[in-house]
Amino acid sequence: MNGRRNLINNLLFGLGLALMIAALYMVFMYVPTEKSMGIVQRIFYFHVSLAWVSFLAFLVTFVFSICYLRKRLLKWDYIAHASAEVGVVFTTLVLITGPIWAKTAWGIWWTWDARLTTSLVLWLTYIAYLLVRGYATEPARGARFGAVVGIVGFIDVPIVFLTVNVWRTQHPTTIIFTDGITAPMLMTLVVCIAAFTVLYVLLTAQGAGLKSLETSIKRLKIRRTG
């Protein structure tokens, strides 16, 4: 079993490394420079990819939180918890790369635009998820409370996605499937999303594995001291 798992991890690592190298090449060498914003526009490929994968991470937390509350199997909680941690990291990077791009595009670092504000709320929600788990007096209680926050917090994900299409915002609308993106740009974006998706899977799998190992170690300590 461990041998098979290691093989899958190695294959994913190799695939992720190849995709990340390809993504970096395409972003900085293949895709043409955008005329109006210049080289800073290249951050678009990382910013959008991180945002999409953070949505995926919180979706996984949502699904496995429901599974945990229904079955109370720790393996579901490990996946939900690890996915939320990765999602918070990716959302943090979204909130960092966004203002860097916005400074050139809008002339300001931050504005209380609907997309930006709801994204900040999403980040704060899953920060709260991690705090609830971290400060719970009992692991089981933290898992239950965290699962509830993970489920309720996911409501903000579709809101973040729909803000630019439902409300008039300063943030550009979704252009991936419109004439606003050329074939080389779309191809580069797809490769970037694939690279960050594989990275997300690897980090989540490793995180869930570490949480399972931590639980096993704690149980061994209890047996020895008991």
Q: Where are the domains of the chain?
A: 40-225
Instruction: Give the best-scoring range by mean pLDDT among 7-11, 46-50, 139-143.
Output: 46-50
Q: What is the 3-state secondary structure (H, E, C) of the chain?
A: CHHHHHHHHHHHHHHHHHHHHHHHHHHHHHCCCECCCEHHHHHHHHHHHHHHHHHHHHHHHHHHHHHHHHHCCHHHHHHHHHHHHHHHHHHHHHHHHHHHHHHHHHCCCCCCCHHHHHHHHHHHHHHHHHHHHHCCCCHHHHHHHHHHHHHHHCCHHHHHHHHHHHCCCCCCCCCCCCCCCCHHHHHHHHHHHHHHHHHHHHHHHHHHHHHHHHHHHHHHHHHHHC
pLDDT by residue (tens digit) across 138-169? 888 999 999 999 999 999 999 998 887 766 66
| Model pTM score | 0.89
Is the pLDDT at 178 greater than 60? The verdict is no
